[in-house]
Amino acid sequence: MIAFTFDYYRPTTLDEALNLLTNEGFYPQLGGTDLIVKMRNKALKPKAVVDLKAIKELHFVKFSKEEGLEIGAAVTLNEVVAVPEVAKYYPTFHQGVRSIGAYQTRNRGTVAGNIGNSSPAADSVPGLLTHNAKLRLVSKSGERIVELKDFFTGPGKNVRQQGEIIYSIIVPFEGEAIGRYYKIGRSRGFDLSTIGAALTVIDPSGNRDIRVALASVAPTPVRAFEAEEFIKGKELTPENVEEFCNLVQKSTSPITDARGTKEYRYEMAKVLPRKLLRELGLFKEAI
C-alpha cells in the first residue's frame, strides 16, 4: 500500500502533460514498474503522478537505414523485443531489453522508463550505449537532443530538468552489427544485474569496430572508450585481447552491495569481454 496521498493525471495530449509537469513534485510515469515500487518504499513521494501512457503520439517505432531507429517513450519493452529490425540490426540492445524482469514486467515497462530511472543496473542501456544512442527530450520550451552517454550523472540521477520528458530514443544505424549482452544476476530472469556486459561489433566482416559497455560496475552505466580505441584495427591476438580486457576493467569503479562484491564485479569486468569475443567467434583461445 502507498501510505501517502498524491494526485494522478492521465493526459491524452503531450501539451497537457508538459503543462502539468512544469509543477514541482510532479513525476512522469510510463509503466510504473520503477516509480510505484519507489513510492511504496517511500523512496519517492510525488505530489502528483502524470501517466503518459494515454498519449498516442508517444506510441511509435520507426526504422530506416538513413535515419536509424526511433522508439517513442510509451512503447513497452515487449513491443520493442517484437520489432524485427531491433533484433536484426541492434542485437545487443535487443538481448538487453529481453533480459529485463519477467514477461509481465516487460508488458508494462518501457525503455524510456528504464533510462529515466537511471539505475547503474539498467539492462537496456549498455546495448544502446554501444550504438551511440541519443535521447529526444521535450518540454514546453522546446526540444533538445542529448547523447545517452551524457545523460546519467549518478545512481538515480540524470540531466533531465523539471518539465522535461524523454520523448523518444534515437539509435543511429551505422552498419551491420553482431553482438551479445551477458547478464550475471543472483537468480535467473527476475533480478537486476550483478554485472551486465554488452559487446557490439559494427561492420563485423569489414572494419570491425568493437564497442563495449557495462552495467552495475560504476555509479552510471559506462562505455569502455579507451579499450575500444586500443583494439581498433588490431588483430585479436592473446596479448591484444588481454590488454583490451584490462582497459575495459580500468573503466569501472564498482561497489559492494546486496547483489555482489566490488572485487567480484571488478574481476568479471575483465572476464566478460573476453567471453563475449569468444562467443561471437572473434577470438579463439588456446586451452
Ligand X SMILES: Cc1cc2nc3c(=O)[nH]c(=O)nc-3n(C[C@H](O)[C@H](O)[C@H](O)COP(=O)(O)OP(=O)(O)OC[C@H]3O[C@@H](n4cnc5c(N)ncnc54)[C@H](O)[C@@H]3O)c2cc1C
| Interface positions with ligand X (CB under 6 A) | 27-35, 37, 52, 73, 77, 100-101, 105, 108-110, 112-114, 116-117, 121-123, 160, 165-166, 190, 192
Q: Residue 100 or residue 199: which is nearer to ligand X going by CB?
A: 100
CB neighbour class for 102 (10 Å; exposed up to 12, middle 13-18, buried from 19): exposed
Least distance in Å: CB of 46 to ligand X? 8
Q: Residue 98 or residue 208: which is nearer to ligand X going by CB?
A: 98
Q: Residue 114 or residue 249: which is nearer to ligand X going by CB?
A: 114
Residues 49 and 147: their CA atoms lie apart, in Å, by: 26
Least distance in Å: CB of 174 to ligand X? 24
Q: 138-142: which pairs have CB atoms within 8 A and are 24 or more residues apart? A: 138/14, 138/18, 138/164, 138/165, 138/167, 139/18, 139/21, 139/22, 139/163, 139/164, 139/165, 140/18, 140/19, 140/22
Residues 49 and 84: their CA atoms lie apart, in Å, by: 33
Q: What angle do CA 63, 131, 38 make, to 5 degrees?
A: 95
Least distance in Å: CB of 60 to ligand X? 14
Residue 160 identity: R
Least distance in Å: CB of 184 to ligand X? 12
Residue nearest to ligand X as judged by C-beta position: 113
Least distance in Å: CB of 281 to ligand X? 27
Residue 137 identity: L
Least distance in Å: CB of 101 to ligand X? 3
Set of cell numbers at residue 143? 526540444
Set of cell numbers at residue 157? 540521477
Q: Residue 34 or residue 79: which is nearer to ligand X going by CB?
A: 34
Those residues whose C-beta lies under 8 Å from the C-beta of residue 162, and which sit 6 or more positions away, are 21, 22, 24
DSSP H or E segment with residue 222: strand 222-223
Set of cell numbers at residue 231? 583494439
Q: Residue 213 or residue 227: which is nearer to ligand X going by CB?
A: 213
Q: Residue 64 or residue 103: which is nearer to ligand X going by CB?
A: 103
Q: Residue 101 or residue 175: which is nearer to ligand X going by CB?
A: 101
* Cα dihedral across residues 172, 178, 184, 188: positive or negative: positive
Least distance in Å: CB of 246 to ligand X? 27
Set of cell numbers at residue 195? 554485472
Least distance in Å: CB of 117 to ligand X? 4
Q: Residue 29 or residue 249: which is nearer to ligand X going by CB?
A: 29
